[in-house]
Amino acid sequence: MHSRTSSLSSITELFRPNNPKRLRSRDLSSTRLNALKKEIETDAHLIPLKNLYSLLGTDPIKGLTSAKASELLQYYGPNTLTPTTQFRWPKMLFKSLFTGFSILIWLGALLCLLAYVIESSTKARPSKDNLYLGCVLVAVDVICGLFSFFQNFKSSKILKIFNNMIPMSTHCIRDGVWNPAMPVAHLVKGDIVQVKSGDIIPADIRIIESKGFKVDNSSLTGECIAVSRSNTEGSPNILESLNVAFFSTLCVEGWAFGVVLCCGDLTALGRVAGLAARLQPAPSPLSREISRFMRCMSVFALCLGIVIAIASTILGYPFIQTTIFVIGIIVANIPEGLQPTVTASLTLTAQRMVKKNCLVKNLEAIEALGAVTTICSDKTGTLTKNKMCILHIWIWNRTYSIQDPDFETIAALKICGALCSTATIAPNGDIHGDASETAILHFLCTYDDPVTVRSNFPKIAEIPFNSINKYQASVHLDKKLSRYLVVMKGAPEFILLRCTSVALGDKDKKITKEVKEAADKAVEDLANAGERVLAFADLTLDPNEYPMDYDFDTEEINFPLEGLRLIGIIGLKDPPREEVKNAIERVRAAGVRVMMVTGDHPATAKAIAVEVGIAAAATCHVVTGNDLRNMNPDLLYLTLEKHYEIVFARTSPTQKLQIVEACQRHGSVVAVTGDGVNDAPALRRADIGISMGITGSQVSKQTADIILMDDNFATIVMGIEEGRKIFDNLKKSVCYILISNVPEILPVFMFILFSLPLPLGVMTILCVDLGTDMWPAVSLSYEQAESDVMKRPPRHSDPLVSSRMMILVYGHLGLIEFASGMFAYFTVMAEHGFYPADLFGIRQRWDNEAVSDLRDSLGQEWTYAERKELERACQATYFVAVVVTQMMNGVICKTRYNSILDVGMKNKVLNYGLVFELALACVLCYVPVLNDFFCTYPLRFQWWFLAIPFPVLLLSFDEFRKYCIRRERFGRWYNKLTYY
């Protein structure tokens, strides 16, 4: 006892407001997180109340003294939830601006600005191209970073929503005086409080005294069934103990006095809030892929920079010029359009998913769904309808399905079901009450009018349901016969003990051993099917013994509750959604493992799991919360490895978190569904947190990455398909963007190594990356999913950018595009008198402003201004050649495997994008202000056709390559080399 209580005391010390451990802010938050991950270890709900009063220094009649309460409040702090220090908005903004691929773009921007500074210090009239490019890159990073920040900032408000669940005041006694408006923040351990119907529980309290006390734990558990709480014997697990009511739960019936056990951060709610706020979400697969790609591109660019530096030094370029060259080659390697393309593609996909009842809060979660390997699904509301209904009724030795055509409920059951209920019926017909009673009344409404029944049998007295007796009873006046009727419902094992006869048609039969065995078997069969079983009984009182003026007493019961007549037994169930079984079949066919993680009873959980196809009856392995308490992380890991079909039942919030972390340790990409506050830590830690839009709590919605607006598991299947499709399409977009990198990099090589006039300028590179390429790259996200997208296993070693893609881009398609640009460049130069052979080595004189008589191959003399105008025309022609070939690459990138002749041009967004690409190139070349700013030129009509042979070559080559891949020609050479 003392060790467990001392464990609670030690964790209490961690949450004192004055940081007694003197830890740094980050270390304190980490230490608190590790402490909150552990199960609650206390026996304060098990020890006798007398000992508990002594331990807490309180009195059950007078409460704490004001001095003692003030001392505890100052020492342990107020009864509120402590905000974390991890998610302050400046830090979040910094992470949004400087993470993943944005770091590479920031580097490019700084290098561009550095190159401009160097040129400004060494030249009288430096080019401003690098300045413009640097500013544009900064703008791209800031815009994308702010977009990401606003997407994620809402997640930092988790604790605010938790605090909204806390009441402002409560009834508390101190110094023997009741204070009906004690601020909840001032409560401390040991305070004596009173709660009544409609009140929110102000702290975790142990019940001292109660009457008909029921609480709705849905704010914590998500289960909306009211449960009784009373001064009874506690169970080892405090979360299942019937003598404890928890912070933030709602009292729906009765009243209770209780003593405060825990306040603030150490309450059940506080622990969930602390975990949800402090847990760092796992990096998404896409962010990991982009980080990996960023590292590869950085190394590649650095290696090219080193090569250029060595070559420039050997060729005799001065150090300053060499530095500018190195910066230029590194910047040319940065695909500036990749980040906005990925962001735009994910955003457009998210908008499409909203139309399918799937609201995406975290854009990267879309792609992560496609990579998911394990789904930890909640039961209530996700797999089931979250609506209790009657499925079976046992009436004397026969179990009827309510759908049986010959089924007709007996009159006594109609009357008992309508009367023995606390649910209310509004004038408009709406029924309000707990799930079971609401289901019973809905069922009875199809046979009779419960309101009429109740008016004919007014209630005289009532004994509310409690966890000890396991029944509910009430006395009613039969107006027609002028006598009293006792009705009772409850757990079958308790009701049967009070019955001596059973209803049999229009007569009654004495309960024999055979009758009892038949009833027991019916109860067992219904329970094994996952149904909640209730028995109904009644007793007509003798009018001579109980006249009309008889005073019924429910405290000192003065009427019979024995010798009743058993009317029938009903089985209620929250049935599975019709579409869930097919959805789970599709998910499992896609190689995704589905596990149920619920707080419900193991038998009910297993029955639903079998019914929806999560598990087979013979092989399903059920792990309860008690089992998990006895498992260390290694044993849980081995259990997940040994059993493929697992149902976790009666789990606590920390256990749900442990299951998620164990799956991630197993190498799984984990999606978690949930709707309650207790699901928040698991939703936060999972790779993809999925909340319910209809039944989900505000906390679960705030914590999740995705919200299912229809609360339907089948929507997750759509999300997985969409995620796999977007990953395939992102590959196509990335491939398309990278192709244009080659004709942007190699001209810089030609410029440096062969001293050619620069074939492609910085500003025209910008026109390609952030102009003409953008729409076609984004429009590839609209490509339809390939037919086998849900038949493949989840990807494990299929990167976003693979070596095969790089070989295809840099060794095939990019080189053809570079060749088209150089062909156009050399053709325009030749038309004006500069033949290719004479261009090599000419750069130094070409760029020298002092040389005003440079001779071409025909002997014509060119001034510096004339040369620069020709250079602009050549660069514009090179740019147009890149645009024309990129249009064909957009068509090629529609498929990675199939022929474009089979797929066709059905993607209208891409078709418009290709037209836009060509139109934008025309605008950039012919609009006077723009062509001056971007260093382009109004081209002659025939120059647009110089690149035409190369798109034809691209299409022919790629169709041949894909044909070889499909038919596995040349010993699968193309498959191994270029099938990305």
Residue by residue, DSSP assigns 616-685 as: -TTT-EEEEHHHHHT--HHHHHHHHHH-SSEEEES--HHHHHHHHHHHHHTT--EEEEE-SGGGHHHHHH
C-beta separation of 247 from 202 below 8 A:
yes
CA distances from 577 to 376, 380, 478, 694, 750 (A): 17, 10, 41, 15, 65
User: pLDDT, tens digit, for every residue of 283-331?
Assistant: 788 888 887 887 787 788 888 888 888 888 888 777 777 777 777 777 7
pLDDT tier at 19, thresholds 50, 70, 90: low
Q: Would you state the pLDDT for residue 188?
A: 93
Task: Record the tokens describing residue 85, joined without a space.
Answer: 């220090």
Decide if pLDDT at 147 tops 70.
no
Task: Record the tokens describing residue 429, joined without a space.
Answer: 């017909």
Least Cα distance to 465 among 214, 257, 235 occurs for 214
**How buried is residue 258: exposed, middle or buried, by Cβ count under 10 Å (0-12/13-18/19+)?**
buried
Please tell me the distance from the alpha carbon of residue 622 to that of residue 605, in angstroms, as a whole number. Answer: 9
Using a pLDDT cut of 70, give the percent of the chain over it: 92
Q: Would you state the pLDDT for residue 379?
A: 83
Please tell me the distance from the alpha carbon of residue 73 to that of residue 204, in angstroms, as a whole number. Answer: 16
C-beta separation of 867 from 875 below 8 A:
no
Please tell me the distance from the alpha carbon of residue 3 to that of residue 10, in angstroms, as a whole number. Answer: 10
Q: Mean pLDDT: which of 39-48, 773-782, 950-959 is highest? A: 950-959
Least Cα distance to 608 among 531, 714, 694, 708 occurs for 531
pLDDT tier at 24, thresholds 50, 70, 90: low
Please tell me the distance from the alpha carbon of residue 511 to that of residue 527, in angstroms, as a whole number. Answer: 22
Active site residue 378: yes
pLDDT tier at 82, thresholds 50, 70, 90: confident
What one-character-per-residue DSSP string does 32-96 give? HHHHHTSPP---TTTS-HHHHHHHHT--TTT-B-HHHHHHHHHHH--SSPPPPSTT-HHHHHHHH
Please tell me the distance from the alpha carbon of residue 53 to that of residue 60, in angstroms, as a whole number. Answer: 7
Amino acid identity, position 264:
G
Q: Would you state the pLDDT for residue 192?
A: 95
Q: What 3-state class would DSSP assign to 799? A: coil
Q: Mean pLDDT: which of 297-311, 562-576, 877-891 is highest? A: 877-891
Q: Mean pLDDT: which of 212-226, 587-601, 770-784, 937-951 is highest? A: 937-951
Q: Would you state the pLDDT for residue 275?
A: 81
Q: Would you state the pLDDT for residue 590?
A: 86
Higher pLDDT, 340 or 942: 942
Q: What is the mean pLDDT of residues 442-466?
A: 88
Q: Considering only 359-368, 565-574, 818-827, which range has the smallest mean pLDDT?
A: 359-368
Q: Would you state the pLDDT for residue 289?
A: 83
Amino acid identity, position 709:
M
Q: Considering only 244-248, 809-813, 929-933, which range has the smallest mean pLDDT?
A: 929-933
Q: What is the mean pLDDT of residues 332-347?
A: 78
Decide if pLDDT at 25 tops 70.
no
Q: Mean pLDDT: which of 76-90, 199-213, 408-422 is highest? A: 199-213
Beta carbons within 8 Å of 17's beta carbon, 6+ residues apart: 76, 77, 82
Please tell me the distance from the alpha carbon of residue 22 to that of residue 380, in angstroms, as a whole number. Answer: 44
Q: Would you state the pLDDT for residue 646?
A: 93
Least Cα distance to 485 among 422, 554, 407, 564 occurs for 564
Pairing of the two strands 424-425 and 431-432: antiparallel
pLDDT tier at 406, thresholds 50, 70, 90: low
Decide if pLDDT at 1 tops 70.
no
Decide if pLDDT at 506 tops 80.
no
Q: Would you state the pLDDT for residue 875?
A: 94
Q: What 3-state class would DSSP assign to 540? A: strand
Q: What is the mean pLDDT of the chain?
A: 85
C-beta separation of 757 from 878 below 8 A:
no
Sign of CA dihedral 292, 297, 298, 299: positive
Please tell me the distance from the alpha carbon of residue 523 to that of residue 518, in angstroms, as a whole number. Answer: 9
Decide if pLDDT at 405 tops 70.
no
Least Cα distance to 728 among 685, 787, 675, 771 occurs for 787
Decide if pLDDT at 6 tops 70.
no
Q: Would you state the pLDDT for residue 5?
A: 46
Decide if pLDDT at 958 tops 90.
yes
> Is pTM, for the whole model, over 0.85?
no
Task: Record the tokens describing residue 786, joined without a space.
Answer: 């390939």
Decide if pLDDT at 87 tops 60.
no
**How buried is residue 65: exposed, middle or buried, by Cβ count under 10 Å (0-12/13-18/19+)?**
middle
Q: Would you state the pLDDT for residue 848?
A: 86
Higher pLDDT, 268 or 34: 268
Please tell me the distance from the alpha carbon of residue 718 to that of residue 704, in angstroms, as a whole number. Answer: 18
Q: Would you state the pLDDT for residue 7?
A: 44
Among residues 199, 378, 600, 856, the one annotated as catalytic is: 378
pLDDT tier at 967, thresholds 50, 70, 90: confident
Decide if pLDDT at 467 tops 70.
no
pLDDT tier at 698, thresholds 50, 70, 90: confident
